[in-house]
Amino acid sequence: MDYDFVVIGAGPVGGLLARRLCEGGSTVLIVEEHAQIGRPFQCAGLVNPKAMELVGLTDTVLTPIWGARIHSPSGEEVSIGSPDLIRTWSVCRKMFDEAVIDSALDAGADLWLSSTPFAAEQDEAGVNVTITTPTGDVSVRCLMLCGADGAHSWVRRNFRMGRPKEMMVGFQIEVTGYVGEEGRLDMYTGSEISPGFFAWAIPSGDTTRIGTWSKADMMEGRSPEQLLDTLRKSPLWSRRFTGCREVGRFCGPVPSGLVSRPVKGRVVLFGDAAGLCKPTTGGGIGPGFIHVENTAPILLNRVQNLLSQSDMESMMKKVLEPVRKDQLRAKALRDAFLTQMNDEELDEVFSVWSKPEVTELINEVGEIENPIPLGLRMLRDVPEFRSLARRAVKAVLWG
């Protein structure tokens, strides 16, 4: 074997995976199609505290985020959070990705930039991967192949491992001059600006990242850029945007809903390639990191022959089934509280959210990365939400 593992994709998830595999004593090659790490990126740059703890990269933080102002379609505002509890970190994604890859290289991984696989086949004992590199095509043999190659994963397509259940599209601009609040992000809702989902303005040091996400079939022929324009021109909020000067723009897919076969023989998918983004927030770094932490030990045992192929597959299944269920529940809650609501219904929800006792409940139980406990408490404890329970109950409780 040339390597124990070949990891396709030098994003944050591929980087952490390579690091953990090297730390476990394996040899690892990372293959990245771009000439540099962290460019281009499509991300609002939010990294939750658990994920940050795993990599210890607080020096990449631009702004600690402790709260949010959430806006209903008609302009009602609900403010949550308090400065004594940091809810999430707004980071420089380029520095963050570079630091994660650096730590993999420090642990012993090799990295080939400007390189892509164009053929791969597995047999009983390993995987042969043919890679186009700047100096010509190279064949590499490894024990296992890991696809951490993002939303449009070549590994996933080559080995026919299924598709993420939902593919949202996100569009974002980075601006100076937005009138926001230090440490608080803004979320905007409404069918004209983010049908079924929400738009955001996230403080990121000297700039603000303003974006929107939705599903193609809900956008009725409008582009995400048009939706964002509508937000910026809305009479409700335009004064916050009048002094904005654009310094960058990003567009990309958000794949959510674990693919049907994340493990196929000696090939395993990670991060966006596996469809791990949260259906509620679109965040992919947190769930991608947790998946790596939970599965790297299993892969290490497999390549050291401490586990048979079938034992490995059943252990991977044990890790992944709860992830699949959590995603289904979170999606059901999102659908009930947001995606399936029209603007009038959303306004009604906001009028309940703005009651002091409900805002208190959100502050107490609300977690950006895990909205299930809050959603269930609301369905149970807030009388006005009981009728919503019918919509959510089947998938939330039994999904």
Ligand X SMILES: Cc1cc2nc3c(=O)[nH]c(=O)nc-3n(C[C@H](O)[C@H](O)[C@H](O)COP(=O)(O)OP(=O)(O)OC[C@H]3O[C@@H](n4cnc5c(N)ncnc54)[C@H](O)[C@@H]3O)c2cc1C
Least spacing, CB of residue 328 vs ligand X, in Å: 19
Query: Shortest gap between Cβ of 354 and ligand X (angstroms)?
Result: 26
The least CB distance from residue 15 to ligand X, in Å, is: 7
- Closest to ligand X by CB, 154 vs 385, is 154
Under 8 Å between Cβ of 44 and 202: yes
Q: Which is nearer to ligand X, 26 or 90 (CB)?
A: 90
Residue with Cβ nearer ligand X (201 or 378):
201
Strand partners, 67: 81, 184
Q: Decide if 287 contacts 276 (C-beta within 8 A).
A: yes
CB of 64 to ligand X, least distance (A): 14
Considering only CA atoms, give the Rg of the chain.
22
Residues binding ligand X (CB under 6 A): 8-14, 31-34, 42-46, 116-117, 148-150, 154, 170, 172, 211, 250, 252, 254, 271-272, 277, 282-286, 288
> For residues 8 and 70, which CB has a smaller minimum distance to ligand X in the complex?
8
The whole-angstrom separation of Cα 157 and Cα 195 is 29
CB of 165 to ligand X, least distance (A): 15
Residue 285 Cβ vs ligand X, minimum distance, rounded to whole Å: 3
Strand boundaries in 67-183, DSSP class E: 67-71, 77-81, 88-91, 110-112, 116-122, 127-133, 136-147, 166-176
Q: Which of 329, 300, 298 is nearest to 314 (CA)?
A: 298
Nearest distance from residue 319's CB to ligand X, in Å?
17
- Can you list the alpha helix ranges (DSSP code H) found in 247-369? 285-303, 309-334, 343-353, 356-365
Q: Which of 129, 124, 115 is nearest to 158 (CA)?
A: 129
With respect to ligand X, which residue has the nearer C-beta, 12 or 371? 12
Residue closest to ligand X, measured at CB: 284
**In this complex, which beta carbon is closest to ligand X, that of residue 24 or of residue 283?**
283
Question: In the complex with ligand X, which residue's Cβ is closer, 63 or 172?
Answer: 172
Q: Phi, psi (5° rounding) for residue 168?
A: -85, 165
* Residue 46 CB, nearest approach to ligand X (Å): 3
Residue 352 CB, nearest approach to ligand X (Å): 27
198 or 241, CB closer to ligand X? 198
- H or E segment and range at residue 39: none
Q: Is 262 exposed, middle or buried (0-12, 13-18, 19+ CB in 10 A)?
A: buried
Burial 117-147 (b: 16+ CB within 10 A, else e): beebebeeebbebebbeeeeeeebebbbbbb
Phi, psi for 89 (deg, rounded to 5): -115, 135
Nearer to ligand X, 194 or 388 (CB): 194
From residue 179, alpha-carbon distances to 88, 173, 245, 368 in Å are 20, 15, 12, 23
Angle between helices 372-381 and 356-365 (to 10 degrees): 150
